[in-house]
Structure 1
Amino acid sequence: MIMKKLFVLVACLLGYLACCAQSDYKVVFDITSKAVEDHNTLMRQVNSILKSSPDAQLEVAVYGEALDMVLKDKSKISPALTELLNNKKVAVKVCGITMKRNNKDASELIPGVEIVPDAIYEIITKQKEGWGYIKVAH
């Protein structure tokens, strides 16, 4: 009887440790601001998370007035964003609706930025999958 209880206790402990050991740090950032200060804040936040949790999965959903942030000819943070896009744990996704409304196409984006049909739907989907959510604004 004692061995059975001990076995169950050890099994539960191992299960708990296995769950805790997994890196489930997943965050989607929502940015709609055209303010360069907000773009820089986003970069600081993402890089800070990656420094403390290198296995974190991060996604940036760009739409609305933040479109310039991901356009090759308008971005004020292009070098930093390009460097960030080299990390396989980070995705930057721009709203297709925003692109269409502003008459922009994929060739105008910083390489590595992906287009999704609807950034709000993308955010909601990530939240349903258990991702954390951060609105970038000041």
Structure 2
Amino acid sequence: MKKYKLLTALLLLAAAYCYPQASAHRILLDITSKDTADHHTLVRHVAGTSKAYPDSRLEVVIYGGAINMVLKDKTVVGDDIRKLANQKNVDIVVCAQTMKRYNVDQSHLVAGVKVVPDAIIEIVAKQKEGWGYIKEAN
């Protein structure tokens, strides 16, 4: 009888060990809105999520009309963007194609903001890797 209990315990332990562990979330948020209310909403969502789930990864992809969100001289959320970009679990990226269209140089960006070659390709690539996708709007 003890053999069966030991065998059962070992099998349960092995099953628990082999069962896929919950992985940290990977969340991709994109914003194209020039509306500063949307910029504030995105910052609030990313800050709250990154704090509540510190093992998760978040990436914000900024393109189109949202470019002002990361421009030093035009942003209303610059300090928040800088703080988020300095967190180890958050990346703030802007589209190089959008920068080109708006004649923006990398020196105009809020500190910590990274540049990706193309926002759409970035979004598709992250989705292919299994990232959850959120279109941010107010």
The reply to whether TM is greater than 0.5 is: yes
Q: Point out where structure 2 has 5 or more consecutive residues left out of the alignment.
A: none
Q: Which amino acid aligns with 2:103?
A: N
Across the aligned residues of Structure 1 and Structure 2, the Cα RMSD in angstroms comes to: 1.6
Query: Secondary structure in 2 aligned to 1:111?
Result: coil
CA contact (8 A) 2:28 2:132 kept: yes
Tell me which stretches of 4 or more aligned residues in structure 1 moved more than 2 Å. Answer: 1-9
Asked if 1:114 corresponds to 2:114, the answer is yes
Which runs of structure 2 are paired with 1:23-102 in the superposition (5 Å)? 24-102=24-102
Query: Secondary structure in 1 aligned to 2:21?
Result: helix
CA contact (8 A) 2:50 2:90 kept: no
Q: Deviations over 1:36-87 (max 9, x none)?
A: 1000000111111122111211000000000000011111111111111110
**2:21 maps to which residue?**
19
Q: Which amino acid aligns with 2:31?
A: I
CA deviation after TM superposition for structure 1 residue 15, in Å:
2.4
Q: Which amino acid aligns with 2:98?
A: T
**1:10 maps to which residue?**
13
Query: Secondary structure in 2 aligned to 1:19?
Result: coil
Query: Secondary structure in 2 aligned to 1:104?
Result: coil
Percent of pairs identical after alignment? Answer: 47
Which whole-Å CA distance do the structure 1 matches of 2:84 and 2:13 have between them? 42
Q: Point out where structure 1 has 5 or more consecutive residues left out of the alignment.
A: none
Which whole-Å CA distance do the structure 2 matches of 1:122 and 1:8 have between them? 43
Q: Which amino acid aligns with 2:14?
A: A
Which TM-score applies when normalising by structure 1?
0.90
Which whole-Å CA distance do the structure 2 matches of 1:82 and 1:51 have between them? 16
Q: Which amino acid aligns with 1:124?
A: V
Which whole-Å CA distance do the structure 1 matches of 2:92 and 2:32 have between them? 13
Which whole-Å CA distance do the structure 2 matches of 1:46 and 1:15 have between them? 33
